[in-house]
Amino acid sequence: MLLETEQEIAFRETCRRFAEREIRPLVDGAEQSGKFPKVLLEKAAAAGLLAITAAEEHGGAGAGLIYQCILVEESARVCAGLGTGFISLGNRLLPRVGTAAQIERYYLPLLRGEKTAAFAMTEPDAGSDVLAMRGTAERSNGGWRIRASKMYITGAPFSDYMLVVVYTDKKARRGGLSVFLVDSDLPGIEIRKLDKLGHRSMETGAVFFDCEAPDQALIGEPGRGMDYVMSVLEDGRILHAARSLGVARAALEDAESYARLRTTFGKSINQYQAIQHKLAHMLIEVSNAQLQVRQAALKFDAGLPCQLDASVAKVVASEAAVSVTDQAMRIVAGAGYLNELPIQRYFRDARLYPITEGTTEIQLRNIARIAGFA
């Protein structure tokens, strides 16, 4: 059992109630239709959940990352695809570097659940190797001509706007990347929805840009794009770990309940040591992930360096999600393979976590670098 403060426990209860009451009834419909119900964002905003970490001047509660982790974990425990809609990179980047006008037009509507944002960096030939991207923005008519082909963009099909990372100076490599706020309905933008294994209730798109964006679309200074992205990387990875943790917990809880009820050879299967050991290993992996997420989030909130902790939490929790959901499938066996139970959904969703927000291999490379092994 994780040691939490009274306030954290109370907030977890609020998130759990919200997830059970508002997310759970939407899961089957959204997973089957592959359509994200935007009404959920209005409900989350009305419950005060979207603005918990926002500054008071922006109408938020000014709470720490630890609270956002709790929200992400509890929503992922019910449905990771739907829960992904609550936090976008824009949520974290805009208050740090946006102008007053950008905050007013793009950030505050996110907190009110009125707008949705997507973050478009990956390209077909540039995933882990970000600098291999080809997308560019060039000066034209007092604005910017953006040409890019982006891939796997979460939320793009229903987004109101996207934060798009492209080169404004390709020769400068890392120092030539910039971030733009681009309205998704601008002429010259085409979004194609992608079919995928998991997170089916969260729409993902391939986005083609050949559009004219106004001068004010640039976020911060040109050429500082990578610095801005890096500035939200740590909390991004910690939140990602919290999502993996939510899915792992759901799989453990469901497998445990199933093992109590399922009888073979005249005994419930939880009486067999083989099953008890599986559950025990799953519990150990979940507990490890809980500790790593908490440690990383608390360090982040204390303003301490936590790059290493964020990468460790990301690897531990995402690999725990893969392993725990795999074990849950074995315990629930035939019934787990049917779409009638959510075990198969957890299993499919968990396969995403070692890939996004920096693959496990890339995290291990970071960990080795930060720890000074290389």
Ligand X SMILES: Cc1cc2nc3c(=O)[nH]c(=O)nc-3n(C[C@H](O)[C@H](O)[C@H](O)COP(=O)(O)OP(=O)(O)OC[C@H]3O[C@@H](n4cnc5c(N)ncnc54)[C@H](O)[C@@H]3O)c2cc1C
With respect to ligand X, which residue has the nearer C-beta, 33 or 140? 33
With respect to ligand X, which residue has the nearer C-beta, 18 or 346? 346
With respect to ligand X, which residue has the nearer C-beta, 164 or 328? 164
∠302-154-86 over CA atoms, to 5°? 50
- Beta-bridge partner residues of 190: 208
In angstroms, give the least distance from the CB of 264 to ligand X. 37
In angstroms, give the least distance from the CB of 358 to ligand X. 6
Q: Where does this chain touch ligand X (CB under 6 A) — which range of 25-33, 272-280, 295-303, 360-368?
A: 360-368
Number of residues in contact with ligand X under rule CB under 6 A: 21
Distances (CA, A) of 9 to 26, 67, 188, 328: 25, 10, 48, 27
| Residues with active-site annotation | 357
329, two tokens: 């499938």
Interatomic CA distance for residues 10 and 78, integer angstroms: 18
In angstroms, give the least distance from the CB of 141 to ligand X. 28
CB 126, CB 165: distance < 8 Å: no
Interatomic CA distance for residues 179 and 223, integer angstroms: 9
In angstroms, give the least distance from the CB of 361 to ligand X. 3
Q: What sign has the CA pseudo-torsion 90, 92, 97, 100?
A: positive
- Does residue 351 interact with ligand X by CB under 6 A? no
Q: What sign has the CA pseudo-torsion 228, 231, 234, 240?
A: negative
Interatomic CA distance for residues 113 and 130, integer angstroms: 30
Q: Where does this chain touch ligand X (CB under 6 A) — which range of 37-45, 150-158, 272-280, 309-317?
A: 150-158
In angstroms, give the least distance from the CB of 176 to ligand X. 18
- Does residue 153 interact with ligand X by CB under 6 A? yes
Task: Return the residue of 97, 362, 367, 370 that touches ligand X, per CB under 6 A.
Answer: 362
- Does residue 196 interact with ligand X by CB under 6 A? yes
Interatomic CA distance for residues 60 and 70, integer angstroms: 16
H or E, element range at 151: strand 143-154
Binding flags for ligand X, 109-148, as an x/- string (CB under 6 A): ---------xxxxx----xxx-------------------
Q: What residue ranges bind ligand X (CB under 6 A)?
A: 118-122, 127-129, 152-154, 196, 199, 204, 352, 355-356, 359, 361-362, 365
